[in-house]
Amino acid sequence: MPSLIRLLVVIGVIGGLVYGGMLALAWTVEPKQREMTIKIPSKRINK
């Protein structure tokens, strides 16, 4: 039983580190906004 608890604790710690890293990236990294142009073929417009 102690080995099961140790395994669950290790998995929980690793999961917490991954979750914390994702939160840190989400808060610190800002996406760069840029203008976007989409070309639509004239055949699709004229139908």
Helix (H) and strand (E) counts in the chain: 2, 0
pLDDT of residue 7: 96
Token pair of 28 as six digits: 């610190």
- Per residue of the chain (47 residues), give pLDDT as tens: 789 999 999 999 999 999 999 999 999 988 888 998 988 877 767 65
Instruction: Write down the residue that tokens 């808060």 correspond to.
Output: 27
**Global confidence as pTM:** 0.59
17: left (phi over 0), alpha (psi -120 to 50) or beta: alpha
